[in-house]
Amino acid sequence: MKVRLLSIGKDRSGLFEPAVQEYARRLGHYTRFELVELAEASGKKLKPGDAKAAEAEAILARRKPQDWLVALDERGSLIDSVELGRYVGKAQTGSRDLLFVIGGDEGLDESVRAAAHMTLSLSKMTLPHRLARVVLVEQLYRAFTILKGEPYHK
């Protein structure tokens, strides 16, 4: 099984990136994990709707037939860590790969949400996308430790 995270925009802030790298390293003990940063179209002098559509095209072009696409959005389903573990476990037993997507400043285009197998909320509050990456990668690491019955999750 493979887990990929597509994220719009680059994070060179030095604030969140080390945490993402650390959880990605830990996640690597359980699954093949890849973080792909896609260019933000909103910096390219496009109208907001056009920028989101261009980003959606880049996202959907990377989807593979075996992927379950999970769109991250504050209006999505609020689930707990054990439920996320179950979801990951289901993908694993169904020989699916997981493709998580985090939007840029303008959020995700409706076409990405419509194509998603699940729309996942990390909180009802809006997070900066760089912080959303940290929370998601930690929760994925936690989900795998839950599946393995390891003591990280209390």
Ligand X SMILES: C[S@@+](CC[C@H](N)C(=O)[O-])C[C@H]1O[C@@H](n2cnc3c(N)ncnc32)[C@H](O)[C@@H]1O
Contacts to ligand X by CB under 6 A: 72-74, 102-103, 105, 107-108, 121-123, 125-129, 132
Q: How far is the CB of 37 from ligand X (least distance, A)?
A: 13
Tokens of 110: 């409706």
Q: How far is the CB of 26 from ligand X (least distance, A)?
A: 21
The torsion angles phi and psi of 35, rounded to 5 degrees, stand at -105, 125
- Select 38 or 72, whichever has its Cβ closest to ligand X: 72
Contact 122, 9 (CB under 8 A): no
Angle between helices 129-147 and 17-27 (to 10 degrees): 20
- Select 77 or 154, whichever has its Cβ closest to ligand X: 77
Q: How far is the CB of 82 from ligand X (least distance, A)?
A: 18
List the beta bridge partners of residue 50: none
Q: How many angstroms separate the CA atoms of 62 and 145, rounded?
A: 28
Q: How far is the CB of 97 from ligand X (least distance, A)?
A: 19
Q: How far is the CB of 95 from ligand X (least distance, A)?
A: 26
- Select 34 or 150, whichever has its Cβ closest to ligand X: 34
Beta-carbon contacts of 77 under 8 Å, excluding residues fewer than 6 positions away, are 118, 119, 120, 121
- Select 17 or 93, whichever has its Cβ closest to ligand X: 17
- Select 94 or 123, whichever has its Cβ closest to ligand X: 123
Which stretches within 1-152 are classed as H helix?
Answer: 17-27, 48-61, 81-93, 110-115, 129-147
